[in-house]
Structures are given as structure tokens and as C-alpha cells.
Amino acid sequence: MAARETLDMVKGCPNGLSYFNGTPCPIISNNKIPFESIGMDIIKEGLKCKISLNELKDIHLKQMQDMESSLSNICKKDKGLTTKNNIKKWLKENNASEPQVEMLWYTNVYILLKLKVIKNDNMNGMIFCS
């Protein structure tokens, strides 16, 4: 997707745009995702289960690196384009639905921001457009 097309899709989206390593989440819906509360619940539950903050950081960073890398590898075979067909291939490769991947991507980016693993900058974070 082109940058302008992506930003146009995000306008009015209650979740904004979540991106990691310069790659935006390829699934953008108008369904409100409670990623902030889910992310905080995951962090709290992890700590209750004696998972250290460093382990939580590593778990969610690895998930995002794997997701972004697999999407990137699929798209590289198609001139680097994130097409609907490539997204379908990526979902199949990850054995996941659009809502599952969207929830996981947004929640993981939120957790990584909260745990200060990534900064909200040009490569990682969240963008909200009105």
C-alpha cells in the first residue's frame, strides 16, 4: 500500500495505525479494538505469573519480529507490495484470521511501547488521524 492510501484508510479509524519496523499493520478495520486494556492485562497477568519484564519484552518483540518478517518475505516476492493477495498468504501462513492478526499486532505494539522496547517514532508506534 502507498503511504497516502494507508493514511486515507486510517482517517476516522478508532484504532489509528499501528506499525513496527516501518511496516504498518496490513489489517485496518473500523472495529474498535481494546488493545490498551488487553495489553495492560497481559503485562499484569505476566507479572502475576512471575514472568519478568525482560521476558515479557522478549516474548512480544519476538512475536512482532516474526510477524513483520514473514509479511515482508511474502511481499518481497511481489515487488515489496502489500496486496490483498499477499495479506491472504500471510494470514494463511500464520494460521490466523484478520481480526486475530489485527488484535495481536496492535496489542504487541502497545505492549512494546509501554515497556519502552520501542519508541513512538517514524519506524514504530501508533498514528491517529482525524
Report if residue 94 sits inside a domain: yes
Helix (H) or strand (E) holding 19, with range, is strand 17-20
Domain residues for 41? 17-24+32-127
Report if residue 119 sits inside a domain: yes
Q: How far is CA 37 from the centre of its chain?
A: 15
Task: Report the pLDDT averaged over residues 120-125.
Answer: 90
Report if residue 65 sits inside a domain: yes
Report if residue 80 sits inside a domain: yes
Helix, strand, coil % in the chain, rounded to nearest 5: 55, 5, 35
Domain count, the chain: 1
* Calpha distance 113→119 (Å, rounded): 6
CA-nearest of 122, 91, 110 to 15 is: 110
What digits encode the pLDDT tens for the residues 17-73? 899 999 988 888 888 899 999 999 999 999 999 999 999 999 999 999 999 999 999
CA-nearest of 20, 17, 33, 16 to 119 is: 20
